[in-house]
Chain A
């Protein structure tokens, strides 16, 4: 049965529950009543509280930590410093590469960024731990730090050769092009800023470790814990049924995780460690600051002849993070000549991490602003220029798109927005004190894929359980897996219970790269199909089954009831059948890994990303696409920019649940509005320290900043991208919003701002 054969039952409610239906979140009731327990809300016997202390210098050494006052403070159980914390073993990275060093010290003696964890205090109560931590006296030997990307000490950085993409002769073609634009585009350090802070509860029972931690990747993080402590992978249990937002930040076990687990080991009691909000800005990487130059040469009709792109992002002093800045530049438009190169620059900052659409997000800011600048130079409609240069196939790998509904997105978005009514001259639209601007941009995100597995059980009472260590951080995994199982098995969705977020369940890779829905619906579809086959097989062949006499070679299940497809013979509920044949359960594991996969490869598949399937593997190039149209109002006196309308048309292939997909899309759009207008990690260059690490000073959009957002789905089922025809949703919509807004601001004001965020002082 392929995706296209999936049956949709006749009634409205059944359509709602089927894959593609607008079913409300099945985890909704728990979330809206406060019943959902997030990681550090577990109540444990003997729980203690740990607080971390961070370095106040950006580079240098900790020469001494005076712990006496802290040790004797009320309620204090343990004071951890680099000298007193137990030694951990080095762990492999997320590719599975072995560690550089055999040991790992989560508390640092050598400081390479401000806020780096250097000590921890564990006490009976949270208040006691916080108070005692403030009593530590730390001495440093400070050395000069490289404070940000533009620090003169940083140099040009390290070339990342594997990011180089070239075809044709881009420099020569540019030089020969009659129309040319060239500009530099910058994005600052940004933060994921999930509402739930990072943190965990760690508990040892003998050699077994249980961790309650918000996690996008239970299996990967469990591997890390196992390696740190030199215990078998099976001894680690990671529990994460509810996660208060991740956006890429919660996929790895980091220093604070190690400290909590070590403290628990040393103390013999469970330890809860939660990073306070400022520590959430320094303890793990947000999006690296980036710089790009984009150079486009075109003929007078607007056809691109050459794109030359150079990019650089900051990384840490001893870690390597590459934000693939040429990722959209190389595929969005057709061009006969192309060159993209990228460097990274070492900066005294925490190693940057993944924030929603790493690479694609800043890359799109560059190319989608540049193409608009080209349109202005040509005196042409920016939509027209994009259509003229439409890439009919992937220009980088020269493969056809698996599906690309981008023209459809342009058309649908433009129509709904009213783009045709745009007067193209800058500063040509206004309303009282407000200059009005209409801008557009395209976005894309690759379809990342992986092999997955899931367990589906049919129980004696007719209910169904789906089990996986994959997670729901708000993307709707609980719901779409319930829909998939319900539809495949033919049972009402209320009979399906989905169990996620426990590493003792069936294996799962990272919920990242917008791949989880495709992986897991495929795995559940397979497992449910197998369970269904077994159920029907049992019904047809077991001597105790009432269907034994029926002359049928198959049966159908609808609304939880089994019958012959012709409608003759008995009709039983699943529970009645299970009872009749004396079965407690049917259990099936759907697994898309080849049968020849060894246990080592299987472990590697789930605990590293080394076996991810490239989006350009085989005959196709697989991506999600979108077109954003935004209206901004800029106060001509104040320079404040407000987004007043957004229409986005998006191609995420087949939507497993449009209601939830729309929420994801809108979430990405809103995050993009924050990126364009508000968000910036501001570094005090004297100390290499972020000074706005809190929610009053790091500006997230509020409800008052966000207008009505219209999203239009233009996707069609893409059988090359996933078993059920969907493509990535979660990271698509943020890509292209910032350039659309920058383009709209230019249209409103005539001022081209190429440094994010577009704040008022850049416009007055």
Chain B
């Protein structure tokens, strides 16, 4: 990789100031930045190490909400008893991601900034054409090996899948990202490619993620994250679903349901059509499976990723049924 300058920021203010420099990039855990620098995708001139800043790693969970500092490690949040109890989907999304070592390195804020695993994006030497890396240069994936690419939220410019897990759970439960004073729904923080595949996040120069806040709810409390992949672990999702469920006191009628999809879209995908179709309905398998098909509204396949259109609704259905079986 090209060489760069290394600075440590002791405070968020210092980080903000330093990150306004051209070519400056923040370093938290390093699992994305160092990886992409080795690929030749990231070429920072200055790396600002924010991993030593105090006070940004707290995990504070009440009945109302979880407030998690941006520098909290994925592993610590996953293992946090309160998170497991009140936001199980968040814990499950975290521990099923990556590997134990990576989860010890990676931070919550950094995880939100994770980039796509599209093999064409990651290989500039062999594939110069990539609208994410060089706007306007074209898309090497379309017409190529597309087994892992997105079926939702794509455009002619880009079909790269958003690969993360945590953000799926965050989007399902209307989490908010704190960028200093500015607050933004996580769902709006992520951007679909459209004509600007290079813009993945609504984050401005000099802004630093400081925390995420997940509102508590009955559905968040009764939630799960199911991740389906080729091998049992240490792999990105072929399709995943974060689901939360709240039933009426009769134990069968759905009062509230949250559904978000991972592994199949260009950004974390809230499936409101499924939610709307199931609110007020009875929890029965036929109804559920039928409603889950609505998750694929607007899906476009690019050949080898066709199976995601069949798979994703089944993952959602499984999650709902699993939650329905257990209180």
Contacts and interface: CB of A to CB of B under 8 A. Distances in A.
Contact of B119 (A642, A691, A705, A759): A691
Interface string A134-149: 1000000000000000
Contact of A684 (B1, B117, B145): B145
Contacts of B119: 691-692, 697
Contacts of B234: 702, 704
B295 to A, nearest CB: 14
B277 to A, nearest CB: 19
B1 A761 contact: no
Nearest to B126: A56
B318 A761 contact: no
A377 interface: no
Interface stretch (B49-57, B81-89, B309-317): B309-317
B206 interface: no
A701 B3 CA distance: 35
Contact of B232 (A689, A696, A697, A702): A702
Main secondary structure of the interface of B (DSSP, over half): loop
Given A433-B318, A760-B307, A704 B232 contact: yes
B298 interface: no
A55 B212 CA distance: 45
B228 interface: yes
Contacts of B318: 433, 637-638
A682 B230 CA distance: 15
B125 A56 contact: yes
Contacts of A702: 231-234
A678 B235 CA distance: 12
B147 interface: yes
B215 to A, nearest CB: 31
B145 A701 contact: no
Interface-central residue, B230, B234, B314, B318, by most chain A CB under 10 Å: B230
Interface residues on B, range: 20 to 34
Contact of B144 (A638, A686, A705, A764): A686
B22 interface: no
Interface string A730-764: 00000000000000000000000000000111001
B40 A134 contact: yes
A105 B2 CA distance: 30
A678 B117 contact: no
A402 interface: no
A682 B228 CA distance: 21
B1 A701 contact: no
A601 to B, nearest CB: 47
Contact of A691 (B144, B307, B311): B144
Given A637-B317, A684-B145, A764-B311, A642 B232 contact: yes
Contact of B311 (A638, A642, A697, A701): A638
A640 interface: yes
A175 B41 CA distance: 60
Contacts of A712: none
Contacts of A764: 307, 310-311, 314
Contact of B143 (A131, A642, A686): A686
A130 interface: yes
A213 to B, nearest CB: 24
Contacts of A640: 228-230
Nearest to A759: B230
A13 B151 CA distance: 63
Interface string A111-155: 000100000000000010011001000000000000000000000
A459 interface: no
Interface residues on A, range: 35 or more
Interface string B105-137: 000000000000101100101100000000000
B232 A705 contact: yes
B238 interface: yes
Contact of A131 (B2, B117, B228, B232): B2
A56 B3 CA distance: 24
B232 A691 contact: no
A285 to B, nearest CB: 20
Given A127-B3, A684-B144, A760-B307, A638 B232 contact: no
Contact of A127 (B1, B145, B230): B1
A760 B238 contact: yes
Interface string B142-158: 01110100000000000
Nearest to A134: B40
Contacts of B238: 760
B117 A691 contact: no
A704 B231 contact: yes
Contacts of A131: 1-3
B145 A699 contact: no
A687 B230 CA distance: 26
Contacts of A705: 231-233
A632 to B, nearest CB: 13
A94 to B, nearest CB: 31
Interface string A19-47: 00000000000000000000000000000
A761 B307 contact: yes
A638 B315 contact: yes
Nearest to B40: A134
Interface string B194-234: 00000000000000000000000000000000001111111
Given A127-B1, A691-B119, A696-B117, A678 B232 contact: no
B231 A701 contact: yes
A692 B318 CA distance: 30
Contacts of A683: 145
Interface string B286-327: 000000000000000000001100110011011000000000
Nearest to B314: A637
Contact of B231 (A56, A637, A678, A761): A678
Nearest to B322: A433
Interface string A691-711: 110001101011111000000
A127 B318 CA distance: 48
A611 B228 CA distance: 51
Interface string A613-633: 000000000000000000000
B145 A682 contact: yes
Nearest to B308: A761
A134 B310 CA distance: 42
Contacts of A130: 1
A689 B2 CA distance: 26
Nearest to A114: B126
Interface in A656-695: 677-678, 682-684, 686-687, 689, 691-692
Contacts of A682: 145, 147
B56 to A, nearest CB: 29
A695 to B, nearest CB: 9
A638 B314 contact: yes
B280 to A, nearest CB: 25
A761 B144 CA distance: 18
A8 B66 CA distance: 67
Nearest to A115: B126
B286 to A, nearest CB: 14
Interface-central residue, B144, B231, B317, by most chain A CB under 10 Å: B231
Contacts of A637: 314-315, 317-318
Given A114-B126, A127-B1, A691-B123, 18 more contacts: A131-B1, A131-B2, A635-B228, A638-B311, A640-B228, A686-B143, A691-B145, A701-B231, A702-B231, A702-B233, A705-B232, A705-B233, A759-B230, A760-B228, A760-B307, A760-B311, A761-B306, A764-B310
18 contacts: A56-B125, A127-B3, A134-B40, A637-B318, A638-B228, A640-B229, A642-B232, A684-B145, A691-B119, A692-B119, A696-B117, A699-B231, A703-B233, A704-B231, A704-B233, A760-B238, A761-B147, A761-B311
The 10 A-B residue pairs with the shortest CB-CB distance in the complex, in nearest-first order = A761-B307, A704-B232, A704-B233, A637-B314, A691-B119, A705-B232, A638-B228, A691-B145, A684-B144, A702-B234
